[in-house]
């Protein structure tokens, strides 16, 4: 059976980059992620990436503390995603994959500014595109950025790589009876309040009829195994 997902946007949390001791960036973890993504490209998948910045800073949390306004805090969060993206680009190049960071926040002396047509060209050429800077606007999460870019770049699906191997009926860390779903529709996920991703992002995925795959970023799972349906995951699709 042919895999329906060839061009995929992979959403990684910033926390996935953290060292066990809490330091913001772990070289071994970064290298393992890069090798995983490299393997996916060698299996024939076209990969775009959106990386969060939560290992460095969380804009919403800073603004909630009350000493900095939300727009400024979110701008700082966007810069954190650029730092993570540059680190991942370097690791991907070291893993033998041509990668290119493109930022929604223009900083041409550091990386290329995001534009849709060049990004499509890089993907068609087999390069991994690392999309930094969120949407370039405050008040939007990297989940929303991931779905937006996936729709723009004609991706077949969004893979949200998380700490768990799919969408559950309850938190599997606290509820031993939590059930993992193999497949859901967008409407079912909303009706059951499963919170696959933030509301704005999921609404855009639903409107765009864009499948969202949820799977674990941790071994023995991998991007390739999830996309080839050889590792547990949940597909939320129309």
Task: Assess if residue 109 is contained within a domain.
Answer: yes
Q: List the one residue out of 98, 95, 30, 37 whose CA is nearest residue 225.
A: 37
Beta bridge partners of 112: 102
Buried b (16+ CB within 10 A) or exposed e, 117-138: eebbebbeeebbbbbbbbbbeb
Beta bridge partners of 128: 99
Residue 146 CA from chain centroid, whole number: 6
Kindly report the pTM of this predicted structure.
0.93
Q: In a 3-state reduction of DSSP, which class is residue 41? A: helix
What pLDDT does residue 2 have? 60
Task: Assess if residue 143 is contained within a domain.
Answer: yes
> How many folded domains does the chain comprise?
1
Residue 89 CA from chain centroid, whole number: 14
- 8 A C-beta contact, residue 102 and residue 130: yes
Rounded CA separation 147/10 (Å): 10
H helix runs in 43-164, sequence order: 59-64, 70-94, 116-124, 142-152
Write the CATH number for 172.
Answer: 3.40.1160.10
- Residue ranges of the chain with per-residue pLDDT less than 50: 1
Task: Assess if residue 154 is contained within a domain.
Answer: yes
Average pLDDT of the chain is 93
Q: List the one residue out of 144, 130, 141, 74 whose CA is nearest residue 102.
A: 130
Rounded CA separation 76/46 (Å): 30
- 8 A C-beta contact, residue 37 and residue 225: no
Buried b (16+ CB within 10 A) or exposed e, 90-100: ebbeebebebb
Task: Assess if residue 104 is contained within a domain.
Answer: yes
What pLDDT does residue 1 have? 46
Task: Assess if residue 36 is contained within a domain.
Answer: yes
What pLDDT does residue 59 have? 67
Q: List the one residue out of 10, 38, 14, 46 whose CA is nearest residue 94.
A: 38
Task: Assess if residue 110 is contained within a domain.
Answer: yes
pLDDT, tens only, 84-105: 999 999 999 999 999 999 999 9
Give the domain range for residue 137.
7-236
Task: Assess if residue 2 is contained within a domain.
Answer: no
Give the tokens for residue 209: 């009829």
- 8 A C-beta contact, residue 25 and residue 55: yes
Task: Assess if residue 1 is contained within a domain.
Answer: no
């Amino acid at each position: 059976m042919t895999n329906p997902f060839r061009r995929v946007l992979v959403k990684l949390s910033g926390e996935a980059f953290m060292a066990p001791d809490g330091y913001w960036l772990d070289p071994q973890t970064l290298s393992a992620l890069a090798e995983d993504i490299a393997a996916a490209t060698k299996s024939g998948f076209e990969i775009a990436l959106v990386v969060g910045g939560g290992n460095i800073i969380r804009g919403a949390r800073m603004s909630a503390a009350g000493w900095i306004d939300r727009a400024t805090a979110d701008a700082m969060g966007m810069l954190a995603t650029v730092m993570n993206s540059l680190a991942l680009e370097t690791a991907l190049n070291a893993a033998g994959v041509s990668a290119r960071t493109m930022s929604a926040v223009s900083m041409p002396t550091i990386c290329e500014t995001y534009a849709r047509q060049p990004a499509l060209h890089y993907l068609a050429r087999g390069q991994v595109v690392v999309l930094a800077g969120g949407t370039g606007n405050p008040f939007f999460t990297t989940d929303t950025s991931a779905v937006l870019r996936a729709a723009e770049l004609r991706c077949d699906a969004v893979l949200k790589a998380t700490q768990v191997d799919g969408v559950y009926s309850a938190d599997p860390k606290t509820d031993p009876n939590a059930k993992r779903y193999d497949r859901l529709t967008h409407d079912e996920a909303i009706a059951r309040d499963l919170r696959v991703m933030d509301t704005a992002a999921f609404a855009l995925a639903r409107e765009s009829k864009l499948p969202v795959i949820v799977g674990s970023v941790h071994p023995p799972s991998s991007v390739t195994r999830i996309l080839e349906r050889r590792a547990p995951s949940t597909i939320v699709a129309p």
